[in-house]
Chains A and B, each alone.
Chain A
Amino acid sequence: MSVSQKQRVVFCWAMLAPFLVLFVVFMVYPLIQSAALSTNQTYGPGTRTFVGAGNFKNLFHDPQFWKALKNTVIYALGSLFIQLPLAFGLALVLNSRRLRGRAIYRLVFFSPQLMGLVFVSILSALAFEKRAGLVNKAIAWVTTNRDFLETPWLQQYVMETLILISLWLYVGFNMIYFLAALQNVDKSLVEAAEIDGAGPLAKLVHVIVPSVKPVATFVILLSMIGSLQLFELPYVLLDGSGGPDNKGLTIVMYLYQNGFDLGDLGYASAIGWALAFMLIGLAAIQIRMVRREERNA
């Protein structure tokens, strides 16, 4: 190796060092530790008792965990079937070049994203209150029915409330991705379809949807991964509890309660791994679908 080549290798590792050192210490090492932790029971950091697969066995028979899983899946399905179609529809409307004020609409619909989740929770906690809250007052005003002032959002309809909040928060955000994808749709394909006499619906089904499919797959995956890790919104909204009858308990909230309220970092790690397997499984299924799609194309 010549001197200059040696110097270049030193340069490379010097440039990588700040990142790599922190990455190994704060990412790789905890990841390995988390596997070890999941086979232990702990009482706060520093004390461990080996329990083997005990945590996972308990988890499997833990009704609270299944409840948390059910709640979280309901929320994720809400994202998939309500939020994403709305985002796509809005993107289709805003994609028209002839539409005036597109930039302003885009900014307005995106704006809730600027608020961090904690701040959204505080605002929501007040907005969904009985009587004084914005939501009930607005519904009562529109319907002129004062009974709606008493709708117990945070007591009875916790998951519904969370889904409504997520619509406000994320429809505009996912719309940005869909808009970017729509702008990449091949214009000549659309024109060709028009010449062949395709109506708006046929154009949508046969030209636009197939071309935005890769981005749509990516957005669905991101949105599912995000939804299944729901934490801050219900945690702050319900004051760290699962809410009445644990109606708002999510997987990550249950992880947090076990690890930091009860001090069992081992059981918390087991919950973390259960969630990670679900997320990685989801990603694998989606990658497979994309591959098959490409082979058929």
Chain B
Amino acid sequence: MSRPSIKPKSVLTHTVLILLAIIVLTPFVWMFIASLKTQEDFFSGLFLPAGDGFLGIGWDKLTLDNYRNLFDKGFENALINSLFYSSASALFATFTACAAGYVLAKHRFRGRELVTLVVLGALIIPPTLLIAPSYELLFKLDLLDTRWGLLLPTLAPAFGVFLFRQAVKQSVPDELIEAARIDGCSEFGIFFMIVLPLVRPMIGAFMLITFLGMWNNFVSPQIILQTESKQPLSVAIAQLRGVYRTDYGLLMAATVVSITPVAALFLLLQKQFISGLTSGAVKG
């Protein structure tokens, strides 16, 4: 075997890529370290505070006070709210979208074309167009400042129906459904025992997309929820900034708490997410 030679071109490529990677990652590192520093140390140095510890760094100056302070202010309440809204939305939206997508892909009935057309048409409606009328609708339904008011509109995702319709067409053969029918399997049985297992990758991808979308959603909860005890992280953190503008450590701690759960979830389910992201766009 010949030894792989180091070419100048690949050295250059890696130098550029590593430099870019450092630029991309630096804000994360800065944020994490800032969340462990006192206000005084935040201003004195860019990263770890100087001192006489290992590597000339004042390790003893790092503190968890910002996190303690954050939870003293009841921030865990917002964390629990975010977990609840995101999980509930992911679970139910995936179910409604998958059921509708399957029927539109595999069954013939009067009205199917019309429903499909309306669903596809909805994909081009910019969400900003619905901000004002949705607010008025929730007011009329007496759903403003309620958890239902935030959740219900997220449970009818046209994009999800489109994705599941594609997924069912691609991975569920007609013969399988026909064979199950001949064996006397009920229509619901076919859906739960044959279709769902076959589109599992899309279920994972879409749940993750919906979870992330709800977790990071700011506009809807900001408009709909006024009571502090109902607000998710996205709104709570913006209000925290309004009150504690200059408490940098506290704000950074809040940001770290807010992004860690979704970052962990993403790293766990990376593959599904990226396949879901590109499945609507690129056909092999």
| Interfacial residues, chain A to chain B (CB-CB below 8 A) | 7-9, 11-13, 15-16, 18-20, 22-23, 25-31, 33-34, 37, 42, 45-46, 90, 93, 98-100, 105, 107-109, 111-112, 114-119, 121-123, 125-127, 131-132, 134, 137-138, 141, 168, 172, 176-177, 180-181, 184, 215, 218-219, 225, 229, 231-232, 236, 239, 252, 255-256, 259-260, 265, 268-269, 272-273, 275-276, 279-280, 283
Contacts and interface: CB of A to CB of B under 8 A. Distances in A.
12 contacts: A15-B191, A16-B99, A26-B137, A31-B130, A90-B20, A105-B21, A109-B20, A114-B262, A123-B27, A231-B219, A265-B133, A273-B129
A108 B24 contact: yes
B281 A180 contact: yes
B284 A184 contact: yes
B227 interface: no
Nearest to B284: A184
Contacts of B13: 93, 99
A45 B188 contact: no
Interface residues of B, number: 89
Among A109, A117, A119: residue with most chain B CB under 10 A: A119
B24 to A, nearest CB: 6
Interface of B: 10, 13-14, 16-17, 20-21, 23-28, 30-31, 34, 42-43, 46, 95-97, 99-100, 102-104, 107, 109-110, 112, 115, 118-119, 122, 124-137, 139-140, 152-153, 155-156, 158, 161, 187-188, 191, 212, 215-219, 223, 234, 237-238, 241-242, 248, 251-252, 254-255, 258-259, 262-263, 266, 270, 274, 277-278, 281-282, 284
Contacts, number: 243
A117 B262 CA distance: 13
Contact of B122 (A27, A105, A134, A172): A27
Contacts of A122: 237-238, 241, 251, 254-255
A123 B35 CA distance: 11
Contacts of B234: 116, 118-119
A239 B238 CA distance: 9
B278 A26 contact: no
Given A109-B21, A272-B130, 11 more contacts: A12-B107, A16-B103, A27-B125, A90-B20, A93-B17, A114-B212, A115-B259, A180-B282, A219-B281, A276-B126, A280-B124
A150 to B, nearest CB: 15
Given A18-B96, A275-B129, A134 B30 contact: yes
A272 to B, nearest CB: 4
A93 B10 CA distance: 10
Contacts of B134: 26, 30
Contacts of A168: 23-24, 27
B6 to A, nearest CB: 11
Contacts of A272: 126, 128-132
